[in-house]
Structure 1
Amino acid sequence: MSAVTHHIPDAMLAAYAAGTLPHAFAVVVASHISLCDHCRVALAAHQTVGGVVLEDSDAVPVSSSLKDNLFAQLDAPFVPEPVYDRSGIYPGPVMEALQGRALKWKTLGMGVRQDILTEDAHGSVRLLYIPPGQAVPDHGHNGLEMTLVLQGSFSDETGQFGVGDVEIADEDLEHTPIADAGDPCICLAATDARLRFNAFLPRILQPIFRI
């Protein structure tokens, strides 16, 4: 997708290729890659380098119990994982996170809605629906936040983000994202810590909205 201008940082692509990226962020990276030719090529390069490193690594002896467990798993009946295809604006990784269920939008006020796809001690990933012209309350971050645009666009202090673009926000960024005119802005957002809202009301409601 040639219109994508905000990409995944190279170090994060390397972590994704190595399988060390936390699940919530991996869902966003996988979704972005499905929309971005540039990052898809960069990921393939990381995977190729990883394969070369494995081939050149010295063999490591393993215990007989490990081999027995491996062969037992190979003999176990194969149960194929369900395959969830892309649906409308939602990439395959989002459909996989939904696990075939319909969207369950929950209102956050002022027309903003969310659907939490997954949440655990390491982070959460959610869909956000923001009406045109509506702002998300001014906030900072206690960790990392990745936001991928699936429909429409939004703007904040760092620039404008359209379909396929991803914004990486850390503890140093405080911003007020505003959905641009046109289609409602629908985003996929992952965090590894609660946001840091500046206004009183969002802080009071934060435990209810789990954001």
Structure 2
Amino acid sequence: MTIRHHISDSLLLAHSSGNLPEAFGLVVATHISLCDECRARLAAFEAVGGSLMEDAAPVAMAAGSLAAVMSRLDRRIETPRPVRRLDPRAPAPLADYIGGSLDAVRWRPLGGGVRQAILPTGGEAIARLLWIPGGQSVPDHGHRGMELTLVLQGAFRDETDRFGPGDLEIADEEMEHTPVAEAGPDCICLAATDAPLRFNSLLPRLVQPFVRI
């Protein structure tokens, strides 16, 4: 797998410090699991963060903190069983959200053969899987916030470039595009948004409230 489109430094830094919404964190973690380059960059950010913590001045703990910790030591902790990865198209971070395989996902049709499945993440940002048949386009649209789109299978092209397996497209409020899935294997993507898309045609705008896209 040759990955050409990577995570930005600002997203990696936010991920390493735990400041990304869960939906964006899922996309970033899934990309990192596929990309040696971004995994190495993340390790560098985490090393810098560790050094900063070592040099930080100590902070007094709140009254009763030690007692609260000690009271929890005897509690029984139920360790969740790891989900077995069943599908090579679903890297480990994603597999935990879908039960191991894309074949188990409950897809919802959006029209033109395009399907989606919204994943269970907390917060206002939404993570979804998109299934786009080869040769099919997504309606042209802009963005009211940030959108991360990670390709898991197949490929798509838009006005900016081509995105294949492992590639991550980062879209912001300045971008308008019309993604088109390449002919061949259907394009499956993991995407996250923190605001509704801004569609340019009427029909997508009419159905938008019902499909949460």
TM over 0.5, yes or no?
yes
Alignment correspondent of 2:202: 200
Mapping for residues 62-81 of structure 1, pairs under 5 Å: 62-81=61-80
CA deviation after TM superposition for structure 1 residue 158, in Å: 0.5
CA deviation after TM superposition for structure 1 residue 81, in Å: 2.8
Alignment correspondent of 2:96: 96
Per-residue CA distance 1:28-68 (angstroms, 9 max, x = gap): 00000011000000011111111111111111111232222
CA deviation after TM superposition for structure 1 residue 77, in Å: 1.2
Alignment correspondent of 1:141: 143
Per-residue CA distance 1:48-98 (angstroms, 9 max, x = gap): 111111111111111232222222333321221331243220111111122
CA deviation after TM superposition for structure 1 residue 124, in Å: 0.4
SS of 2:60 mapped into structure 1: coil
SS of 2:162 mapped into structure 1: strand
Mapping for residues 1-211 of structure 1, pairs under 5 Å: 1=1, 3-86=2-85, 87-99=87-99, 102-118=104-120, 120-211=122-213
Q: What percentage of residue pairs aligned between the two structures are identical? A: 52
For 2:39 and 2:175, the matched residues in 1 are separated by 27
Query: Residues 119 and 78 (structure 1 numbering): CA distance in 2 closer, same or farther, change over 3 Å?
Result: closer
CA deviation after TM superposition for structure 1 residue 122, in Å: 1.8
For 1:154 and 1:199, the matched residues in 2 are separated by 21
CA deviation after TM superposition for structure 1 residue 99, in Å: 4.8
| Bigger Cα displacement from structure 2, 72-81 vs 28-37 | 72-81
Question: 2:7 touches 2:28 (CA, 8 Å); kept in 1?
Answer: yes
SS of 1:61 mapped into structure 2: coil
For 1:127 and 1:84, the matched residues in 2 are separated by 18
SS of 2:10 mapped into structure 1: helix
Per-residue CA distance 1:141-165 (angstroms, 9 max, x = gap): 0100000000000000000000000
CA deviation after TM superposition for structure 1 residue 13, in Å: 0.5
For 2:122 and 2:140, the matched residues in 1 are separated by 25
CA deviation after TM superposition for structure 1 residue 21, in Å: 0.9
Structure 2 gaps, min length 5: none
SS of 1:188 mapped into structure 2: strand
The root-mean-square deviation of aligned C-alpha atoms, in Å, is: 1.5
The residue identity in structure 2 corresponding to 1:202 is P
For 1:82 and 1:141, the matched residues in 2 are separated by 38
The residue identity in structure 2 corresponding to 1:43 is L
Instruction: Using structure 1 for the length normalisation, give the TM-score.
Output: 0.95
| Bigger Cα displacement from structure 2, 69-78 vs 37-46 | 69-78
Query: Residues 94 and 170 (structure 1 numbering): CA distance in 2 closer, same or farther, change over 3 Å?
Result: same
